[in-house]
Structure 1
């Protein structure tokens, strides 16, 4: 049974039981506590927490998920994958344990001919939480499962939470006994490779708080209603029904694994047993490739792009692990162009948008591989230098710099260091990584929530309801202060000079979202005034203003007038509408593949990131700018409409990748279909109100990703005036007409380049002459020529030139010293006779360094003459 059919049967089964079929949410989570959707229930979290009224009493979905906590275990077990699909059924206060258990059991054991999965009931085990007598009795008395196959387990295994504050509760898991070939008897507690978990039924009735460990957290109380969240691993069920050993061998991943095996010449499974514990390292690497290539495909498909932070960093790590695994298997050429199309063909039956958008997806992936191949070359050079300076251990800060600055994997650092007889301070490296992650989490949390626990915001939302947000209709509201927050906690008052968070019952301020910076303005009252610095939505429905108190005191219950700075709003509207205009002009000029992947706009300024490989020629950049300004001069109408998400997609409205949208969306049109996008920002009423657009820059911001920056409105005129004045000053310097300035500058640049080339040629001649001189003065030791010398330049470069200058018919060695380094090289005839530069180097006094048979390098010895004499003695012997 193919994976797509497993998915179809699941949705059909639960739809027939009255569940509404919900589409999968994008992988980037619309949740401040998560990078990615990591469980099927995440999109339903507001309903399960009682923050929103669910539109249906029961639902079912197949949700795309990402988990990277156990990324190092991928390929080593049958259970761990970074991307997976979670089949789920949910009840929002409708049914509870008995019906959830019965629905799961019926689909699992129902014959395939009747639309079920047809698993053997005699091989199914169930686990329940330690004190969940009700679930235990339901499995035993209602389902008829023998008591010997119902296992009670502790909190770590059978009490579920998301790992962060939110819904939680006892759970019951289903396992399938795959037989003695896969491990020991005794049930899931004994062997979870043999007994494979395939379904988890969460009886969600509590809310958990913050905790310091996986299982150490308080229970805050009952949820507003008892809910059901079940998750059946689609890949695990497919593995069981397809009769394969693990989730890497199902129809959605095995073709990628086979393609990687064909590239590398590795025969998968040739040296492994049936259980994951018996896997050969090459098989583990092939599984890593299969899993990670598919994961990267799905992440980029949902709008994530490689970067050095957040979601982009996770994607970058996954891609680089896949590329590294292929290289370890012996394949040195670019692998993703061979593997990613295979993953696309595997996943397109379930997600057809991957095929339609593959040009954009592949551009990011292939660009990242090119970058990483270059990184490996750069990192190897830097690591070689670090090794020559190290004692017996490579310091943690060096390994961290290689990883953090150059993207060099720690496992590669460890491997190369070991080849030179060194170990790496991996513990210190992990500590530095943990410290960096801690700082990043704290910085992000401080920026977005002012250090406040999201539980506080949920409490405020529960007490006061959603903020009456009027940013689309007015710049001024008469409001009441509901709460004042300082350093993550409510306070009674805030006085002059303090910066605090303020929650109002209604507000005209635009909260930062969709790439648009929040409004600026003021809060004022009879005896108080405050400057609004920032506006955020820390949780859906609640708006929090960061303000600086200028005069008087702020306190809950006080009336204030909230006033947006009108000039600020005009500039923000111009910039946001300008972003849409530039996006439309970009696609009109370059084609539909140039799709926006991110944006940022503030009054007078805009920044738009889009998928494209290679810099835009100056002529194309001018075309985009011209097309945008033509649209402005046409005075196109800007219309805003609300409609169902499905209808918006049907009319071609563009959505920003990675954003999560409600069922009803806001569509902004400029000139009708000329620009049609889903957007929550503020906009002008007609395109002419943008005033003008001047493109100020175009650059690369990552593999396969470009960035256009521009100014709008009065800022565009100021920018052009500055450019005009700059050209005038340069023309005066060259005493040339303005029209000839570019040619004069280009001619001067060419003369400078020619001077640099001539300098390099002379430097090379001097190096060659010095190499010939040293080769001519070589001394004979035994039958080996030894040429020695010193240099103030790169000793390795001179040593290489001396080696090639020595007679090719005799064994020859070159030894060159600089102020800090010592290099030994051996010519081809010497290597044929058994001489090795690395062996010679290690045999010398203070011979600490590394290299190979041809070249070795290390620190300059304390006594160079003694070292050279020892080298001569070695050659004589």
Structure 2
């Protein structure tokens, strides 16, 4: 049974039982505690936690997920994968344990010709919360155990386990409850008897049923938490691993051999000419490629581009691990796009968006592969430096710190470093490397835990949200009389805030726009009976709750009648900038093409920053054309309107939506000039495009592979910028005594004169330097049958050193000779080495010698056998670097 069919069956089964089919959310779900959606329940979190009322009583989904915590285990085990699909059915205060268990058993064991998965009932084992682990369940989860017995699971196939195994929570205050897991016995060839408690490779978990029953007040560990009380409504939250079910039903040994993954292994095997199944190390590499390629495809489809931060870093790591694995399989040619295309063919049935995004994905992959080729070269230079230092110290083991630096800075996996070291006849201090890696992982886990603990969804915010929504009325009103619904000081809900305290205020309704969708928050004041409170920031820490960070001179209390007043000038500036962002987006799509989609934005009064997908930069001519198109749209006084409508209707009308944003069933579509610009947007806008005033592009640059950024000024800020440029032109024309239209020609003439003078100066310097050729050649000394000519030349740049080295070598070309020169600055010394043909015949290569010398200078180098160049950071070691080359020559060649 193919993976797509498994997902279809699952969803149809639960739709037939009253569930609403909810489409998968983007992997870039808007949750401050997560980089990616990592579980099927994530999009339902606000409903399960009681932050928002659920729009459905019952729901089912096939949610795409990414987890990278165990990335180093990918390919080595049967079940570790970075991308996976989670099948889920959910109940929000509706059905509970009996129905969830009955339906799970029915779907798992019903024959395939009747719509089930067809697992042999005798192979099914389940676990429940065991006896003595929870105060509310002294005898374990008797209800769940009884339900399993009633559907036909033998008592000996039901095992009780601890809180660590069979109790679920999110790791933070919120809902929790016991869970029941379904396992399939794969047979004695996979491990010992005894059920899941004995072996979880033989007995493979495929489905977890969570019974949410209680509110947790504090969570210290998986099995250590405080219970605040029962939930208002009991929920069902289940998750079944599609990939695990697939490899069991498809009769293969692991998830990498399923129908959505294995074709990539097949293609990678063809490219590398390494057969799958012949060598364990090669098999692991092929599985890594297959897993990472699919994950990368899905991440790029959802709008992620490679970078050195957050989500982009994860994608970059996945792509580069794929490239490295292919290199270890012997492939040096570029192959990412080829492999991604194979994965696209596997995934487009379930996710047709991989086809619509393919052009952009291909461009990103090509750019990243070229970039990593350069990175590999840089890393190889660092590796060569480590080899030189190791040999200079008389050791045969490269330090673990160097291996860690290669991994951390250049993305070299330890197996690549080990292989390169083995080629040099050296080992690597793996224990130190792994110790440093463990420290880094510990820091990462601590940081993740801190982020989770410090996430916005705190107990105080959730308690305030439970009292009701904070309606935003600022589209029409900037001055509202309302009441204080809640106060938060230092993360705790309070009744009063003292004078001078930084406090967070929740109002019964608010005209203040909370930072969202790239638009900065409003400014203004909240007038209370005791005085004015300046609004410093406005955020939505949980959906439906608007929190105003304020500071004032008086005391403010819950229940106070206040007046919330938005700074009208600030709001108008924000409207101008946000509307200008929409204008710029439309202009880009019109002039660059439909692939120039938004990848992020930020706007505040007078300024906007817009990120968009593109594989190359804008030419000056195109940038000018885009700016002109924006200002034509401003001049044309396009009507700006906002309409509420169903999400499906807005998408059908062509409304642009941001990757990663979660949209409700009813959305707000902002139009400019009708079809010309249609976007889903909750931000504030001008009424006509002419109110923007003016748009001036400041810069356009790359901010990551496949992503460009435009910065622009809007309205009076744009006018001020142009006025400043006009004043600068006036100053230059006065200084150069020309008319403005002659300025370019005059400056070009001056630049040409300056370059001519600089060239003449360089020629004179070179002539002066070449006068030393005879002296340097004459000072050459013999080292084991090779003449060595060296000289320290402070202040001489690398280009001049190369010229001089070539001339000296010419004087010594009658026999084996090496020329080594050090110049540059004290902070950045340069080293050049040249060899004669006779020296190369004796085995002396300039690239090898320059690397040894550059390592002494605290840097690295490389080049051809006849001429090579390096550098460093410590010119005081120039003499030592030249001496190291002399000592190497003195050892001779065997």
Establish whether TM, by shorter chain, passes 0.5: yes
3-state secondary structure, aligned to 1:698? strand
Alignment partner for residue 258 of structure 1, among 266, 272, 276?
266
Cα distance per residue 1:456-485 (max 9 Å; x no partner): 1111222x3111321212001112223332
Distance 2:325 2:315 in 1: 15
Q: 1:609 to 1:866 in 2, by over 3 A?
A: closer
1:242 match:
250
1:329 match:
329
Distance 1:288 1:162 in 2: 29
Relative to structure 2, which stretch is displaced further, 40-49 or 488-497?
488-497
Distance 2:599 2:655 in 1: 15
Q: 1:434 to 1:726 in 2, by over 3 A?
A: farther
Distance 2:516 2:20 in 1: 30
Q: Say yes or no: does 1:368 pair with 2:376.
A: no
1:460 match:
464
For residues 440-519 of structure 1, the aligned pairs below 5 Å read: 449=456, 454-462=458-466, 464-519=467-522
Deviation at 1:679, TM superposition (A): 0.2
Q: Say yes or no: does 1:268 pair with 2:276.
A: yes
1:200 match:
208
Distance 1:634 1:360 in 2: 32
Cα distance per residue 1:172-197 (max 9 Å; x no partner): 22222223443444333333333222
Cα distance per residue 1:257-294 (max 9 Å; x no partner): 222223333222212xxxxxxxx232222222211121
1:654 match:
656
Distance 1:169 1:304 in 2: 34
Distance 1:637 1:268 in 2: 61
Relative to structure 2, which stretch is displaced further, 556-565 or 169-178?
169-178
Residues 418 and 427 of structure 2 are in contact (CA less than 8 Å); yes or no, is this contact kept in structure 1?
no
1:228 match:
236
Q: Say yes or no: does 1:573 pair with 2:580.
A: no
Residues 485 and 501 of structure 1 are in contact (CA less than 8 Å); yes or no, is this contact kept in structure 2?
yes
Distance 2:644 2:189 in 1: 58
Cα distance per residue 1:25-61 (max 9 Å; x no partner): 1111232322221111111122222333222221111
2:134 match:
none
Deviation at 1:407, TM superposition (A): 6.5
2:137 match:
none
Relative to structure 2, which stretch is displaced further, 760-769 or 731-740?
760-769
1:108 match:
108
1:530 match:
533
For residues 402-417 of structure 1, the aligned pairs below 5 Å read: none
Residues 399 and 429 of structure 1 are in contact (CA less than 8 Å); yes or no, is this contact kept in structure 2?
no
Relative to structure 2, which stretch is displaced further, 560-569 or 812-821?
812-821
Residues 468 and 505 of structure 1 are in contact (CA less than 8 Å); yes or no, is this contact kept in structure 2?
yes
2:135 match:
none
Deviation at 1:538, TM superposition (A): 0.4
Distance 2:154 2:811 in 1: 84
Deviation at 1:431, TM superposition (A): 4.2
Mind listing any 5+ residue stretches in structure 1 that lack a counterpart? 272-279
2:558 match:
556
Deviation at 1:573, TM superposition (A): 0.8
Q: 1:180 to 1:20 in 2, by over 3 A?
A: same
Residues 32 and 538 of structure 1 are in contact (CA less than 8 Å); yes or no, is this contact kept in structure 2?
no
For residues 63-212 of structure 1, the aligned pairs below 5 Å read: 63-131=63-131, 132-134=140-142, 137-138=145-146, 141-212=149-220
3-state secondary structure, aligned to 2:557? coil
Provide the TM-score with structure 1 as the length reference. 0.88
Residues 49 and 224 of structure 1 are in contact (CA less than 8 Å); yes or no, is this contact kept in structure 2?
no
Q: Say yes or no: does 1:14 pair with 2:18.
A: no
Residues 809 and 818 of structure 2 are in contact (CA less than 8 Å); yes or no, is this contact kept in structure 1?
no
RMSD: 3.9
Cα distance per residue 1:775-803 (max 9 Å; x no partner): 66544455444444444468997698599
1:275 match:
none
3-state secondary structure, aligned to 1:507? coil
Relative to structure 2, which stretch is displaced further, 633-642 or 360-369?
360-369
Q: 1:139 to 1:126 in 2, by over 3 A?
A: farther
3-state secondary structure, aligned to 2:481? strand
Relative to structure 2, which stretch is displaced further, 20-29 or 400-409?
400-409
Deviation at 1:330, TM superposition (A): 2.9
Distance 2:712 2:47 in 1: 41
Provide the TM-score with structure 2 as the length reference. 0.87
Q: 1:169 to 1:365 in 2, by over 3 A?
A: farther
2:136 match:
none
2:295 match:
295
Residues 139 and 145 of structure 1 are in contact (CA less than 8 Å); yes or no, is this contact kept in structure 2?
no
2:891 match:
874
Relative to structure 2, which stretch is displaced further, 232-241 or 410-419?
410-419
Distance 2:4 2:295 in 1: 17
Residues 806 and 834 of structure 2 are in contact (CA less than 8 Å); yes or no, is this contact kept in structure 1?
no
3-state secondary structure, aligned to 1:543? strand
For residues 55-66 of structure 1, the aligned pairs below 5 Å read: 55-66=55-66
Q: 1:655 to 1:193 in 2, by over 3 A?
A: same
Distance 1:785 1:50 in 2: 82
For residues 662-701 of structure 1, the aligned pairs below 5 Å read: 662-701=664-703
Distance 1:839 1:694 in 2: 52
Distance 2:452 2:114 in 1: 51
Cα distance per residue 1:151-203 (max 9 Å; x no partner): 22222222222334433222222222223443444333333333222111112
Distance 2:748 2:56 in 1: 67
Distance 2:300 2:548 in 1: 33
For residues 47-58 of structure 1, the aligned pairs below 5 Å read: 47-58=47-58
Residues 511 and 517 of structure 1 are in contact (CA less than 8 Å); yes or no, is this contact kept in structure 2?
yes
Distance 1:64 1:832 in 2: 60
Deviation at 1:648, TM superposition (A): 0.9
Q: Say yes or no: does 1:284 pair with 2:273.
A: no
Distance 2:403 2:573 in 1: 46
Q: 1:791 to 1:383 in 2, by over 3 A?
A: farther
Q: 1:803 to 1:593 in 2, by over 3 A?
A: farther
Deviation at 1:521, TM superposition (A): 0.2
Distance 1:231 1:400 in 2: 37
Relative to structure 2, which stretch is displaced further, 510-519 or 848-857?
848-857
Q: 1:32 to 1:241 in 2, by over 3 A?
A: same
3-state secondary structure, aligned to 1:226? strand
Cα distance per residue 1:604-625 (max 9 Å; x no partner): 2111111112221121112111
Deviation at 1:864, TM superposition (A): 8.5
Cα distance per residue 1:635-688 (max 9 Å; x no partner): 221111111111111111110111111111110111111111100000111112
3-state secondary structure, aligned to 2:892? helix
3-state secondary structure, aligned to 2:366? helix
3-state secondary structure, aligned to 2:337? helix
Alignment partner for residue 547 of structure 1, among 531, 550, 575?
550
Cα distance per residue 1:706-762 (max 9 Å; x no partner): 112222222222222112212222222332221232333344445555666667777
Q: 1:747 to 1:594 in 2, by over 3 A?
A: farther
Deviation at 1:209, TM superposition (A): 4.4
Residues 81 and 291 of structure 2 are in contact (CA less than 8 Å); yes or no, is this contact kept in structure 1?
yes
2:305 match:
305
Deviation at 1:335, TM superposition (A): 2.7
2:714 match:
712
3-state secondary structure, aligned to 1:372? helix
Distance 2:112 2:774 in 1: 82
Cα distance per residue 1:562-590 (max 9 Å; x no partner): 10000011111111111111111111111
